[in-house]
Amino acid sequence: MRRIFLSLSLLLAVACSAPKTPLIGISCSRSASGATQLATTYTEAVARAGGIAVVLPTVADAAQAEALLGVLDGLILSGGEDVQPGWYGEEVWNETVHVDSLRDRSDSLLARAALASEKPILAICRGAQLMNVVLGGSLYQDLPTQFGTAVAHGGGVEHRIGLEADSVLAGLYGTDSLTVNSFHHQAVKDVAPGVKITARSADGLPEAFETGRVWAVQFHPEKMLQQGDSSWISLFGAFVGRCGS
Ligand code: MN
């Protein structure tokens, strides 16, 4: 009987000390037809990296965002619409700028709740742009008409990025440059206080940055992963691992 009790105690101790599978919340778009919308690339990248993806609805207020971040272990800010230029003190530049103010408010509430609770954030494309604005920076609203460059950034082209030596990406990939995809017509302009730019394209545009618990990339690693470049599991694995520790 005593042996059985000891075995049960041991089993319970092991079960309780086993690492919890991290719950990673992912922000979504609101589609024209009224759906909460998120590409499978994000949820499958998190699952492949050992996390559980939680598709997040639009939150109404800070209390909802804080309640969600109380349950989640990390946050991915996904791609999508442009951030409203008023948030960095500018008028809308031209007709290429598409904004969803409800999503902006929801994503910024989620981002602020994650920052306040020191939960890791992985910010992708629009997510990176939003993070820079939330932290006090600004954006180029339309690269083709505001930023003369020989590097194409829109429509899913590929281009090289150069990495800072002490960056997360350089540490993970053991290199000073990578080829990435590019789906953006906006980019970081004025860098927010406390933000360290860790990768740039050949024209000097920021393509990745870090600050404290935030990793931000202007490209789409989740899409490259789904399209068969398994090397990007390293980034998601490192992020999910960070959320679980
Ligand atoms: Mn780019």
Tokens 């981002």 found at: 111
Candidate list 28, 185, 220, 243, residue with the active-site label: 220
pLDDT digits (tens, 9 = 90+) for 157-187: 999 999 999 999 999 999 999 999 999 999 9
The Cα–Cα gap between 67 and 64 comes to: 5
Candidate list 28, 125, 153, 207, residue with the active-site label: 125
Task: Give me the number of domains the chain comprises.
Answer: 1
CATH number, domain of 58, equals 3.40.50.880
Altogether, the residues listed in the chain come to a count of 245
The residue segments making up the domain with residue 218 are 2-12+22-243
Beta strands in 39-190 (DSSP E): 52-55, 74-77, 121-124, 139-140, 157-163, 177-182, 187-188
pLDDT exceeding 90 applies to what percent of the chain? 89
Q: How confident is the model at residue 196 (pLDDT cuts 50, 70, 90)?
A: very high
**118 in a domain, yes or no?**
yes
Question: Cβ(113)–Cβ(68) under 8 Å?
Answer: yes
- In this prediction, residue 20 carries a pLDDT of 85
Q: How far is the CA of 226 from the centre of ligand 1 (A)?
A: 19
Check whether 33 has a pLDDT greater than 90: yes
**210 in a domain, yes or no?**
yes
**177 in a domain, yes or no?**
yes
- In this prediction, residue 9 carries a pLDDT of 64
pLDDT exceeding 70 applies to what percent of the chain? 93
**17 in a domain, yes or no?**
no
- In this prediction, residue 96 carries a pLDDT of 97
The Cα–Cα gap between 176 and 169 comes to: 9
**200 in a domain, yes or no?**
yes
- Poorest-confidence range of 43-57, 100-114, 145-159? 145-159
Tell me the three state secondary structure of residue 24.
strand
Question: Cβ(188)–Cβ(201) under 8 Å?
Answer: no
Is residue 125 annotated as part of the catalytic site, yes or no?
Answer: yes
Tokens 């590019």 found at: 182
Check whether 14 has a pLDDT greater than 70: no
**130 in a domain, yes or no?**
yes
Q: What are phi and psi of 74, to 5 degrees?
A: -170, 170
**52 in a domain, yes or no?**
yes
**57 in a domain, yes or no?**
yes
Is residue 98 annotated as part of the catalytic site, yes or no?
Answer: no
pLDDT digits (tens, 9 = 90+) for 134-145: 999 999 999 999
- In this prediction, residue 13 carries a pLDDT of 61
